Amino acid sequence: MSETSQMGNESWIKYWGEDWVLEGCASCNGVFVLPPERVSQRCPVCGQAALAQMNATDNRPVYTQPPEMVVPFRAQEEVLRRSVSQFAKSVWLAPADLQESRLLGRLQSVYLPMWLVDVQVQGDWRAEMGFDYEIVSHREQFKNSGWQTERVKEKRVRWEPRLGRLNRIYDNQVAPALEQQAEIESKIGRFLPKDQKPFQPDDLTGTIVHLPNRPPEDAWNEAVVVVQTAVSQDCRLASEADHTRGFKWSPSFANQNWTQLLLPLYTSYYLDDDNQAQMVLLHGQSGKLHGIRRASMKQARRVAGIILAVAAVFLLVTLALLGLGFTVAEEALAWAGLVGVLAVGVGGTAVLPLLYAWYVNSIAKRP
């Protein structure tokens, strides 16, 4: 076997780092490359299974090249701490494992891949371009015992058909390299590729890298939509119009150049009552957090038990006062009534923690 094909088939992972390994998640089908000190931990993306080592040659992923660009982790530690602390405090009757210190201790930095594509676009386009204009009319109004003329301005749009020919290079059009990217961005906000810098192997220290599950040929359709939006915008600007509609084009694309960009994400998790990992994601640029909230039925039962115990004490006092009222002092009966009502009132609230935990968990389960 020649040296090049050997590099292509067997040693591709060496380009990521010395001793790096390939691991996969049986639950979310994520494929990761990671430094040796991070092996076989819980999947940092779905948390549902431990990562299992894969043979880099037999299980060659759809895309194995190291990235060209990286968006560095920029969220300040203070911001991450605050986000995690607020989240941990936001759940009443939280599972015992949902604690700020545990979430922070399990914080794992993960790089997610994204595509940037440069492409030369040629073709004809046609669209209706809208131009804003104002009309001024006069309205007669009866005011203060006399007729008065009022100027009324009204905005309108004049639509005109336009067409043209385009030949331009569009750089850095974004396309997803991961099926889950839209879902992740809907939770913690979009990543800003503007912050990118050329990739250095040192950027990977202590970090797990998610390999693309959508190679360029898969992601191209989405890139075309992004390019079309940019082209339509350019045509509108060239026409000096304010709006555009019915954009149609017959493009041909050439000289596509794909760049893999890594996006920074922190993940953590806590275990709920059923020992299931619930994921917490933090945006590596802004520190914005998204976590699944689960309440603990165990805690809810404990609180309900305390409330019932307090109600039982009130009930005993009521019975004692009743006994007193019927035997010694009649005025104790009025007190017995009052404390009795209190016992029933307090006892009734015991259902609240149970209802709350059930409600929070049923929301969390909804897709």
Name the site residues for Zn ion (rule: CB under 5 A). 25, 27-28, 30, 43, 45-46
> How many residues belong to the chain?
367
Report yes or no: 166 and 235 within 8 Å, Cβ to Cβ: yes
First-residue to last-residue Cα distance in the chain: 50
Q: Which is nearer to Zn ion, 210 or 236 (CB)?
A: 210
Q: How far apart are alpha carbons 28 and 43 in whole angstroms?
A: 9
Shortest Å distance, C-beta 254 to Zn ion: 38
Q: Which is nearer to Zn ion, 292 or 311 (CB)?
A: 292
Shortest Å distance, C-beta 180 to Zn ion: 10
CA-wise closest residue to 210 among 56, 34, 38, 51: 34
Angle (nearest 5°) at CA 9 between 7 and 15: 50
Report yes or no: 263 and 113 within 8 Å, Cβ to Cβ: yes
Shortest Å distance, C-beta 55 to Zn ion: 19
Q: Which is nearer to Zn ion, 27 or 349 (CB)?
A: 27
Sign for the CA dihedral angle at 87, 93, 95, 97 comes to positive
Write out the E strands in the chain.
21-24, 31-34, 52-54, 69-70, 108-143, 146-176, 197-198, 208-210, 243-271, 277-283, 289-291
Shortest Å distance, C-beta 211 to Zn ion: 13
Shortest Å distance, C-beta 73 to Zn ion: 21
